[in-house]
């Protein structure tokens, strides 16, 4: 199953205090079909990893190691997205432009969205997008 991957799920794969069985199932699913991410994903993931190392959640060199490991996963870059769609979704759902880019990509690609962000999940569901991962059964 292919899905659009939010950086919150990637963080849960690498940060011990954010791990969940549902998120671990998603990393296994990437072995079957590649995930899709907006270009923004890579900036967000790097920042999450840098902040984890800076705050002492990880040792020196861990941010780079996690980033390199993330790059080894089968993830396709879906580009920067459609400005009209992203801004429309952001304004209608009170999301940041960043979060709206994931929702817009899931909608335009007709794929489920893997996220651990509740506000993003609510917005995606209202757009008719299926949620997979730790919030899959919340409504």
Structure-block tokens of residue 131: 């949620």
Residue where the block lists tokens 């994903």 = 41
Predicted pLDDT of residue 48: 94
Per-residue pLDDT of the chain (139 residues; tens, 9 = 90+): 799 999 999 988 888 776 667 677 888 888 888 999 999 999 999 999 999 999 999 999 999 999 999 999 999 999 999 999 999 999 999 999 999 999 999 999 999 999 999 999 999 999 999 999 988 888 7
Predicted pLDDT of residue 68: 97
C-alpha span between 32 and 39 (Å, rounded): 22
**CATH class entry, domain 4-132:** alpha beta
Predicted pLDDT of residue 19: 62
If one counts every other C-beta atom within 10 angstroms of the C-beta of residue 13, the result is 19
- Is beta strand 4-5 parallel, antiparallel or unpaired with respect to 113-114? parallel
Predicted pLDDT of residue 81: 96
Residue 61 DSSP class: T
Predicted pLDDT of residue 15: 85
């Amino acid at each position: 199953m292919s899905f659009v991957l939010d950086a919150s799920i990637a963080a849960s794969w690498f940060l011990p205090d954010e791990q969940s069985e549902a998120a671990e199932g998603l990393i296994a699913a990437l072995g079957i079909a590649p995930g899709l991410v907006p270009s923004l994903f890579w900036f967000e993931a790097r920042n999450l990893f840098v902040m984890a190392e800076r705050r002492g959640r990880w040792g020196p060199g861990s941010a780079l190691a996690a980033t390199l490991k993330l790059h080894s996963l089968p993830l396709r870059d879906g580009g920067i997205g459609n400005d009209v769609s992203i801004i429309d979704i952001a304004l209608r759902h009170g999301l940041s432009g960043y979060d709206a880019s994931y929702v817009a990509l899931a909608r335009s690609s007709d794929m489920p969205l893997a996220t651990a962000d509740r506000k993003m999940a609510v917005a995606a569901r209202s757009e008719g997008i299926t949620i997979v991962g730790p919030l899959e059964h919340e409504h």
